[in-house]
Structure formats: C-alpha cells, structure tokens
Amino acid sequence: MELSVKVNDCKECIYRSWAFKNLSDDELKLINSRKKEKFFRKGELVCLEGDTVTSFLYLQTGLVKLYKTESNNREHIISIAKPMDFIGLLSIFSNTVHVYSITAIEDSIVCLVDLEVIKNLIKTNGVFAIDFFEKISKVADSVIKTRVDINTRQLRGRIAYILLHFSKHIYNSSKFNLPISRKEVAELIDMSTENVIRVLSEFRKDKIIQIEGKNIEILDIKRLEKIYDLG
Amino acid sequence: MELSVKVNDCKECIYRSWAFKNLSDDELKLINSRKKEKFFRKGELVCLEGDTVTSFLYLQTGLVKLYKTESNNREHIISIAKPMDFIGLLSIFSNTVHVYSITAIEDSIVCLVDLEVIKNLIKTNGVFAIDFFEKISKVADSVIKTRVDINTRQLRGRIAYILLHFSKHIYNSSKFNLPISRKEVAELIDMSTENVIRVLSEFRKDKIIQIEGKNIEILDIKRLEKIYDLG
DNA sequence: TATATATTATGATATATATCATAAGTGATA
DNA sequence: TATCACTTATGATATATATCATAATATATA
C-alpha cells in the first residue's frame, strides 16, 4: 500500500543529495515535475528483480534491503541501503531491468525520478554528470567492499561487522533497534540463522553486547572492533 | 619493465570499446594525443592500491588481476579482467586513489588515457557520458554478481564456476591454459590452495576435466554446469 | 648445471560451520 | 481468546573446509 506523503519541492528538499548541487533552479524544477515521493511501510516491496527500470530511485528516509531470490526460494541480501543512497545502484545504466529486489525494512520514503529526465540532465549538464557518477560509484564501490569484507571473515568477524555497521553507519549510536530478523542477518552475511543467534548469544555472554529481542547495545566496542579486525 | 608497443591511432584502433562510438574525429584525436599504450609482461604491476588515479585504464589485450593485499600480506583477488574491460573500475569516479592493485597475469597491453580528458569529454559530450557509464556500470555490476555467485556456492561449485568462466568468457574454448596458479585461484574464489588442487583432482578422476599442469580441458561441460547450478 | 624456491599433490587431522532436533517465546490472525 | 506461524534459543551431530605434514615436480636463480 502506497500512502501519499508530504510533497517536497526539490529546490527546498532537505533530503537532497550533494550530487544534485550543480543543478540550476530550472533543472531542479524539471526534476520536481517528474518525480514522485512514495511512502513504503516496513515490509513493503519497492521494486522486484526483473522489473523494467523506469525511475531513478533515491532513498529519502528509512531503510531498505537489496536482495536476490535464489532458485530455491531463499533470499540473499546484497546490501542494506540508508537514506541518501541511490538504491537502484548501477542498474539504471547497466541494465533495462532491476538486478535486485528492494523491500523496505523500516518505514521509508523513496523518491522516484523519471529516468529519462536524469539521463537528459547527464547529457546536458556535464558537471552534474560527474557529480552523479561520483555518488553512484561510491555507493556501488561500497557494496563491493562490503561483500569482500564479509566474505573474507569468519562468523564472529561477520557478526562484529554487522553490529559495527548498524551502530556506526546507520544509527550513529551504540544502542539501536536491529531492523531485521536474525534470519535476514544470516541472509545478509552468508551464514545460517542458528549461527547468527549463537554468535550473538556468545557476545552477550562475553559482555560485549547486551540483547533484548531486537534491541541491541554495544557495551565493549574496542573488543568488537578487535574481533572484526582479526576476522 | 615497460616495453614500447606499436602505437595505435584511436580512430583506427581495433581494440576500441563500443563506449567510444559516439565521439567525433576531433574528440578521438584529443584522446589519441593524451593516451599511452603500455606493454606489461606477465607478472608486472600495472598499478598499486593507493596510487593516485591519473589515468583511465583500458585493457587492450592480455589478462590482468585486480586484488587487494590484506594486512597479513595475503592477496585477495577481486576480479580477473579481460580485454575491453575498464580495469580501474569505479575508482576513477569514486576515489582519488586506486582501490585495487592490478597485475598482468598474461602479457598485456593497457591503454592509459589522461583522466582529465575523459572527464572533460563526459562533461561536453552527453551521449558519450551515457555510453561510458553504461560500460563501466556493466563491468562493475559483473564484479558484484561474480562475488555473490562465488560466495553463495561451496567448493565444487566455485571451481566449476571458475572453469566455466575461463572457458566461456575468456578463452571461448573447452581447452585452455590456466593463466594463474592454484594459489591464485584460491585467492580469487576464497578457498585454500590445497582444496583447489583437491577439487580439480576430483574433477579429473570423475573425467569431468583433463589436467596437464596448467593445461585444462573440459570434457563434460554438462556435468560441470550441473555442479555449478547445484552450488 | 646446481641449488633454491614455488607449485602441485595427497593424506591425516583439526576446526569451522551447517543442519537437525527440540522448545520456549513472540506476534499475527481468525 | 485460541490457534497458528514465525522467531529466538540451545544442544547434539554431521558436514564442509582449512590446516598441517610430507613429497614429488616444476620453475626460477645463482
């Protein structure tokens, strides 16, 4: 179910990415006329793998997961995207269809801009083109880096990674509410659900973290960082 | 040691990527005047992680590996790039320094184009900007896809992947000379060297492949594909 | 050519991780 | 409220994978 949201004017939009800083007022107006802000309730699908890419997707608020559904119906999460991320990743250039499915894992607002408008601006405003490529490249580069970081570590290192990631890069707090289930954590960092639970319990017993359901508090960040560093 | 190579004029260059198809003769001339083709012998370093990115790097012939050196001095190969790939990946937009080191794993010719020239062309020729980003996005997307493909499979599936990859996408032949050592295969698909050797031997015993040192021939591609599909 | 070094190879063993089994807790829903 | 499905939890066991040990080749280097 898509609810209507307060409509932001691009020019005044507080969620606007720095990648749009070199657009003129007229260009922002153009985007404004061809964009739509959509609200997605936690759990709602934003787009499905295989859908035709017609819009540039920008996450204003909330959190979404990017994932693929394997042939055995298991999901494999590629990335958790945060506000200001270009959540369609490189598909807008590399493909005519979305490579990943996207689902909101928290109530989220996604701004959809007609892809043709973005491509035309890239063609006509060279400085914007460079800015835009810089931003999208950074997002994609960080996806690659994360995949490698995770897969070169073993279980404890992966759990440490995900805890530090949520704490430092998403919630900026040592205390946070994990937005995904242990099963989804498992799908994100390539391990079994049982082992996710087990390692979390281990960290709890070692007083590295405190757990109350989905509420997690990092008690000993130094040790967590050490576990992450050692792999 | 960099040897001089026959200098190709960009306009006539048989190695040119389709991403450059919408450049005028003058624009190609500009690139031509600011490019350098360098020969790298097998094993030679093309660039080092951390080096400032000053050129757009394009692989004309040969093969190179993109890798990171871990703190424990172990190498982790991110990707094997083939002719026509943009081997600097997204670093040219996302970073001022190279994120990966690059080394030739076969005698290779890399064309280095002054990055400023490329960026200026992106700014002034919008159609080229789109073409260029389509290409670079495809290369980067395929890196992500490959990482996921590898890490969602277990050992036999990974070896099957790498054999099929070399056969289908790099050499277009069921018979080929593996350009990297078993150790490097291990670094590429995240497994131990011993297990790479073991699984290859297993495949040999099962008459799926034939091995003579680095010379490999796929005898039963159907079974190899099945092993890959099953993970 | 001789020597050192790296690669390929295989078996034995240790370790990491997944799977299976079971149960308590939680949340959705009829 | 009662029922059902899902999540969290933990222990036991099976499996996958890495590591260790050793040796035979192959390759590089003095």
The string of pLDDT tens digits covering residues B146-188 is: 999 999 999 999 999 999 999 999 999 999 999 999 999 999 9
**Which tokens is B172 given?**
């277009």
Q: Tell me if A144 and B140 make a contact (CB, 8 A cut-off).
A: yes
Mean pLDDT of A19-36: 97
Q: Tell me if A147 and B147 make a contact (CB, 8 A cut-off).
A: yes
Instruction: Supply the pLDDT for residue B72.
Output: 76
Instruction: Note whether A95 contacts B: Cβ–Cβ < 8 A.
Output: yes
Question: pLDDT grade, residue B73 (50/70/90)?
Answer: confident
Percent of residues, chain A, with pLDDT higher than 90? 93
Interface residues for strand D (CB within 7 Å) are A 181-183, 193-194, 197-198, 200-201, 211, 213-214; B 154-156, 190-192, 194-195, 213-214
Q: How far is CA B125 from the centre of its chain?
A: 27
CA of A41 to nearest chain B CA: how many angstroms apart? Answer: 28
Mean pLDDT of B112-138: 97
Q: What rounded mean pLDDT belongs to chain B? A: 94
Mean pLDDT of B53-64: 97
Above 70 in pLDDT, residue A39? yes
Above 70 in pLDDT, residue B70? yes
Percent of residues, chain B, with pLDDT higher than 90? 93
Work out the number of other CB atoms within 10 angstroms of the CB of residue A230. 12
Question: pLDDT grade, residue A5 (50/70/90)?
Answer: low
Name which CATH class applies to B153-230.
mainly alpha
Q: What rounded mean pLDDT belongs to chain A? A: 94
Instruction: Supply the pLDDT for residue A193.
Output: 97
Chain A residues touching residue B147 (CB < 8 angstroms): 144, 147-148, 151
Above 60 in pLDDT, residue B195? yes
Instruction: Supply the pLDDT for residue A79.
Output: 96
Q: Closest by alpha carbon to A38, among A65, A8, A80? A: A8
Segment A50-65, tens digit of pLDDT:
999 999 999 999 999 9
Question: pLDDT grade, residue A231 (50/70/90)?
Answer: confident
CATH of domain A2-141: 2.60.120.10
Q: Tell me if B144 and A143 make a contact (CB, 8 A cut-off).
A: yes
How far: A201 CA to C21 C1' (Å)?
19
Q: What is the DSSP string of B63-128?
A: -EEEEEE-TTS-EEEEEEE-TT-BTTTTHHHH-SB-SSEEEESSSEEEEEEEHHHHHHHHHH-HHH
Give exposure, A1-22, as e/b (b: 16+ Cβ within 10 Å): eeeebeebebeebeebbebbee
Instruction: Supply the pLDDT for residue A7.
Output: 82
CATH of domain B2-139: 2.60.120.10
Instruction: Supply the pLDDT for residue B181.
Output: 96
Interface of B with A in 5-64 (CB under 8 A): none
Of B72 and A211, the structure prediction assigns the larger pLDDT to: A211
How far: A37 CA to C3 C1' (Å)?
72
Above 50 in pLDDT, residue B213? yes
| HSE-up (13 A, CA, CB side) for residue B117 | 18
How far: A43 CA to C25 C1' (Å)?
22
Above 80 in pLDDT, residue B198? yes
Instruction: Supply the pLDDT for residue B7.
Output: 83
Question: pLDDT grade, residue B36 (50/70/90)?
Answer: very high
ipTM for this prediction: 0.92
Mean pLDDT of A94-121: 96
Residue ranges per structural domain of chain B = 2-139, 153-230
Q: Does any strand C atom come closer than 7 Å to the Cβ of A177?
A: no
How far: A219 CA to D4 C1' (Å)?
37
Above 80 in pLDDT, residue B1? no
Instruction: Supply the pLDDT for residue A186.
Output: 96
